[in-house]
Structure 1
Amino acid sequence: MREVTHQIDANGLSHFVRDIGEENAPAAILLHGFPDSSAVWQKVTPLLVSAGFRVLAPDLRGFGRTDMPAKVADYDIATGALPDILALMDRLNISTAHIAGHDFGAPVAWMLAAQHPDKFKTLTALSVGHMRAFLSAGAEQKWRSLYMVYHQFRGLCEATYKFNDWALLRKHWSAHGDIDEAISLLSRPGRLTAGLNWYRANASIGRMLYPPKPDSRGEEIVRIPTIGIWSGGEKYLTETQMINSAKYVDAPWRYEKIENASHWIPYDAPDALAKIMVEHWRLHA
């Protein structure tokens, strides 16, 4: 099995990308979230490759072995992560791909699918639904999202997460499939702050209470086949916000629930996840 790691200069940063599978196979781009890196996809990737796909999993800006910009504003999804992925596709000569995202990678994937339907064949969203559905999901979702408020306190959040061998971070993300590896990556200078800056740039208190108005040009509507996947052991996100994402998809939509998995579906249920993804991709090749 072909397996390559790239360090690619694109959009002003050096990006680490895992590239597995034959170069001429249909491409699938997998995006991770916090506190992860592209390693979150390691269990599911061989299953996708054996089904005939080329899997590309980048470390998003600030994470893993990709450069970390210094300013909070640099982590805004629309002006940072989106052009990163598009630039990486150009550098790797990939004209179209299936796009999938988990955790913070899901909002990136939703936005890419909505704004660049010519670039992506399908969308697979894990755990996190469309941002409009998330923001309107009600009191339970707001309660589950309170930790995002704590992430806004620069310095204080970092110090308490690191205290006593990262005890608070270990407790909050207790279901993580490889928390020691995640902490090892976050322990490097500046990396925890870079990861938290994703929340500070995209999930600030102001944005949560007063979200931007819907784009009048319809750029938030996804017009490619989409599947939303949610897990029975999910602690941070309600099922409602995923189910209601259908309102923002003007294309074939499917919802799947994986019962015996935590928030980290790629770690907990790689076989079930791969089966769903491959079916989705083959149906809409």
Structure 2
Amino acid sequence: MRTVRQVDAGDLSVGLWDEGPRDGPAVVLLHGFPYDIHAYEAVTDRLVERGCRVLVPFLRGYGSTRFLEADTLRSGEQAVLGADLRALMDALRIESAVLAGYDWGGRAACVVAATWPERCAGLVSCNGYNLLHPPAAMAPDEPANEARYWYQFYLHGERGRRGLEQHRQAMAKLLWQMWSPRWPFTEADFLRSAAAFDNPDFVEVVVHSYRHRYGLVPGDARFLELEAQLLTRPVIQVPTILLDGLADGVAVEPDTRSHARHFARLVRHERVDGVGHNFPQECPSVFAAAVMDLVEAAARE
């Protein structure tokens, strides 16, 4: 059984797995909503076997991660996710690491890769260029695409906030089923991750995330400059591997080849049939292989 350690970093006491040799090449694996670090169990095993130091943190609002101050805004905006990741690397004295993630975690990795490229030895990103662009968020899409985002619109109102508070496990399980229709996860698989949603800040962080990206609530004022930088849609300059699960039930564009223009050093783009939104847990072999390819490439530079 893995041990979760706590590390004070920035605004947070971060709970994380810290596995493998301390002098091995560093890898940070970042989960999405509504998932947790258990999405990376099999990936972590593969990378540790190859000599990597593997860090898998609970994002803010999940698991044992806690805010250090009661009055810190429970923001879920993209800038703070990236700042959290950078702060964790600072706290652990990791100058550079291969960053890999999906959903919220992929967004955090993309923020660091885009704005502090010296901290990112390589990037594995599911669903392509994960940076949000709130000024364009109110432009309507085709109804079939809008329907995929029902949970976001639900959380824009007080009914949705109360619904998530009262039914967080049921809502998360429904999203798992909708987003990964060909993944035969078990009840034990779900419950292992669902414990992370009991975090006292989970609802506030999630609601803020899905309101901020539509311009409905202000973000953390400390990160306005970083948010403004992200709005310029910066090209990511680090070596990147993109992964898409072609059975992803939430991705409006499950094949993100058009995102290539946002990556100056795109190594490859893999599209895998039958894989849904939770790519590392559904297809750990492909995910781990992508990470190792970037680890080995960084070692040759």
Q: TM-score, normalised by structure 2?
A: 0.79
Q: Any idea what SS the aligned residue of 1:251 has?
A: strand
- Supply the distance in 1 between the matched residues of 2:231 and 2:8 (Cα, whole angstroms): 32
Matching residue of 2:242: 228
Contact 1:72 1:201 in 2 (8 A): no
In the other structure, the counterpart of 1:180 is 191
Question: Shift in Å at residue 226 of structure 1?
Answer: 0.8
**1:100-151 residue CA offsets vs partner (Å, 9 max, x unmatched):** 1111111111111010111111111123533369979963644423432222
> Where do 5+ consecutive residues of structure 1 fail to align?
none
Q: Structure 1 counterpart of 2:46, which letter?
A: L
Alignment of 1:122-141 (within 5 A): 122-127=122-127, 129-131=129-131, 139=142, 141=145
- Tell me which amino acid in the other structure corresponds to 2:152: M
Equivalent residues in 2 for 1:1-285, closer than 5 Å: 5-68=4-67, 74-78=75-79, 80-127=80-127, 129-131=129-131, 139=142, 141-154=145-158, 156-161=159-164, 166-174=169-177, 175=180, 177=185, 178-204=189-215, 215=229, 220-239=234-253, 242-285=256-299
Return the alpha-carbon distance in structure 2 between the equivalents of residues 117 and 152 of structure 1.
33
Mapped to 1, the partners of 2:81 and 2:74 lie a distance apart of: 11
2:62–2:198 contact (8 Å) kept in structure 1: no
Aligned-pair CA distance for 1:172: 2.9
State the TM-score, normalizing by the size of structure 1: 0.83
In structure 2, the gaps of 5 or more residues are 219-225
- Equivalents in 1 of 2:194, 2:125: separation in Å? 25
One-letter amino acid of the structure 2 residue matched with residue 280 of structure 1: L
- Do the aligned partners of 1:98 and 1:123 also contact (CA within 8 Å) in 2? yes
Given that 1:103 and 1:126 are in contact with CA atoms closer than 8 Å, whether structure 2 keeps it comes out as yes
Q: CA deviation at 1:279?
A: 2.1
- Tell me how far apart the structure 2 counterparts of residues 237 and 205 of structure 1 sit (CA, whole Å): 22
Q: Which amino acid counterpart does residue 15 of structure 1 have in structure 2?
A: V
Structure 1 stretch displaced more, 137-146 or 268-277: 137-146
Q: Distance in 1 between matches of 2:229 and 2:85?
A: 22
Cα displacement (A) at 1:164: 7.0
Number of corresponding residues: 278
State how far apart, in whole Å, the 2-side matches of 1:240 and 1:95 are. 33
The answer to whether the 8 Å contact 1:130/1:245 transfers is: no
Bigger drift between 195-204 and 241-250 goes to: 195-204
